[in-house]
Chain A
């Protein structure tokens, strides 16, 4: 038995096929979901992938959050379905208030694409159990609006509750507050991050590292054991 993991395609989604491949390489079954369709096809988890949904001309993720598919995703995420938001997916999760804070344009005002060093701060979420807490990993990062911001109280709360899931190491690529690269909700089923684990699943391709694969094996392990 394996797990069915949905990948939503919005108009302007870019990494949907890559994410499906990563899910497949981890041993799970990727299921394509369409933005106009509320039906999640009985998947066990959902990934919101990177891209520029609806062109992101208003604000990253602001339109996607109101799409038909998100109605169901929001509802089921609240009742515990694991959801991973990568880059644009993270932006959508904050716009949908499934995760606190929001994303602004990079402080240097340029798009940035690089192999980014991160520290895994929380290895207990649905998507991170195959990492060790404190583990240092390299994951490709590519974004225009990646500067994570929240008010001080929220940031303190995230820190206190261990909900900062990933932190940038050595170099903060976008001016994110407290070097935050990714966060999780209280229950640990929802994770959002700016870097792209689906681009680090095969030797030879991209940076040639496979540091992103544990995202997908973690969720598979959780779902199969459930």
Chain B
């Protein structure tokens, strides 16, 4: 046993000269001095543990805060927004008394170290955020990015990540309805594993993370606390407090989806009986985060007895208990007279629940261990008053050169045979190929409300059986575009997700984002970050879709090489009746294919330039947000009024990619005619934004054309759904069998 005296507040005050391992815990000298200044004495070991994790980049957003403010400052007026940035997840009004909460988060670094558990606990964390708002989780989505598809390490990382997402999400009974899988060498040592979730509740059921009402009890429930997920604390423990202790701290947490499933059911039952005043899930920074956030968001203080925390390992030090990131735990604030009932519900679900403290009428967060007071802080200083950095940023010197390397000047196919050859190369390239080998490892049927799931443009869930009310979600991001121009790239990510939601017939309402970037200490990366946020905030303002929350992931880089700046944007939409949804697949032969929007010679950052020329240069497609809004209105009206039977957004890979996907999904081919004023190559491969391909029944042709004409949206008839080939008249013909083989073979061949 340790002979070191317990480092209480009193002890700390009496031993000002004791050196603490603040540097090893990741604090900078000035940050440590700030802690001493706040407390008026040196911190105790436990206090240092709390400040160090809560002031980390991950928890405090210290590098990104000054930029993220724009999401609030430029937030558009929206009647739909019920809870905005700052809570566990944003909440949006979708009508009929329903509210929907959604959020996207990253679990990038752990997923590289231990793909299965890293990805699994990513799902677990985002789902707890959703429960903590009072909602029943109804779906998950997973935007994923990996290194080159044929790199040997991708074969280690990807199958583990996919199995982890499936293993955890499938076991929770949450349909996986969307996301992306992108390959690029820039993600080789830094895969991006983002996870999103949606939850549904009634307006009156919204819960917040705050501890109010002196005398109310603080209940920790769920899994026991173990030594997993402690990075810095092990240093703290071994170097300062107890030299004799063996190290046994895995850095990556281990998930138990069964425990989480119980946590969901028992939390929802407690909500239903209105037993909960405030609630917070335990994620990053564990109890440090939950106690300091609950206390600082509430009206009073909080007193916690750490000895009462149920442990998986009885040798844990108080610092370790405070920093542990053991999964599947939550913290609820409950009125004293409701505690028994709360514990009963936990017992029904075999969930361990323990009163560990209470709300006080003071304004301090006090934590006790073995009778001694080891923490006495103003919780706000831990949770909210972390350091804020104005990191230097500068447009990188290579940006001009990159933009000058114009992709429009690359050699183009000259004959029909060359076009055909390049179409096959495109649709079989890892990024454009079918991802069904991956998505078939996820349950998308559970809960019996899935209307659309990948590879549809957006996932769609019915939320009311009688009215047919539903919500749709799409996540998009294109790191290649963002590398060429981070401002435009972020806007294009939003535009694509917005368009994808509208393509299925839903009205876009709100945004969540996961901002994946390199090191903020590199001024070039910081410039990319600043530009991307400025672009996204401007675009959200213009499209009227507020950012409701999200997550920033920095330091995605190995050595000097940062990943492409990769803002991933999730757009949530609502549809009054899911029976009006529009799928991607061609439905009926003879229907007319219309191209909506303008097609320009835009190949910068395109899939074509990557697949055929391994090239990245020039400028991304132009952004025209007013056009996006008009296109979305047309798509939603056409869907509601039954004027279109299928629709597909045009993005990476251009029109030909969309046609091939719609044809293969519907098992019906298409005859295409190159419209006047365009050459076949530009028609097929251009990635101009603000476009969609729709299939119109002949009976609706006139009405549809009239609507587009009246609202001023350019519309061009480009072909007809027909036969079992994709034919571009005068150029080439490809059978659906050939296309299917090309499109579906690639991923299993590389990864199975």
Contacts and interface: CB of A to CB of B under 8 A. Distances in A.
Contact of A55 (B256, B439, B444, B450): B256
Contacts of B462: 204-205
Contact of B258 (A52, A111, A114): A52
Contacts of A207: 445
A18 B138 CA distance: 13
A196 B445 contact: yes
B185 to A, nearest CB: 26
A206 B445 contact: yes
B446 A15 contact: yes
B448 A14 contact: no
B448 A55 contact: no
B167 interface: yes
Given A12-B261, A199-B448, A204 B442 contact: no
A50 B173 CA distance: 10
Given A11-B258, A198-B448, A113 B579 contact: no
A111 B442 contact: yes
Interface in B443-485: 443-451, 462, 465
A210 B173 CA distance: 21
B463 to A, nearest CB: 12
B166 interface: yes
Nearest to B176: A113
B256 A205 contact: no
Interface residues of A, number: 33
Contacts of B163: 110-111
A26 B236 CA distance: 62
B446 A142 contact: yes
Nearest to A19: B448
A113 B441 contact: yes
Interface string A55-81: 111000000000000000000000000
Interface in B424-449: 439-449
Interface in A156-202: 196, 198-199, 201-202
A112 B447 CA distance: 17
A51 interface: yes
Given A140-B445, A199-B448, A11 B349 contact: yes
Interface in A24-52: 50-52
B578 interface: yes
B171 interface: yes
A119 interface: no
A142 B448 contact: no
A113 B443 contact: yes
A4 to B, nearest CB: 21
A202 B462 CA distance: 12
Interface in A139-154: 140, 142, 144
A142 B173 contact: no
Contacts of A140: 445
Contacts of A108: 752
A56 B170 CA distance: 13
B445 A110 contact: no
B713 interface: no
A201 to B, nearest CB: 8
A54 B451 CA distance: 29
A204 B451 contact: yes
23 contacts: A11-B258, A12-B258, A12-B262, A14-B173, A17-B448, A18-B446, A18-B447, A51-B173, A55-B257, A55-B258, A57-B258, A111-B170, A111-B443, A112-B440, A142-B170, A142-B443, A142-B445, A198-B448, A199-B448, A205-B448, A205-B449, A205-B450, A205-B462
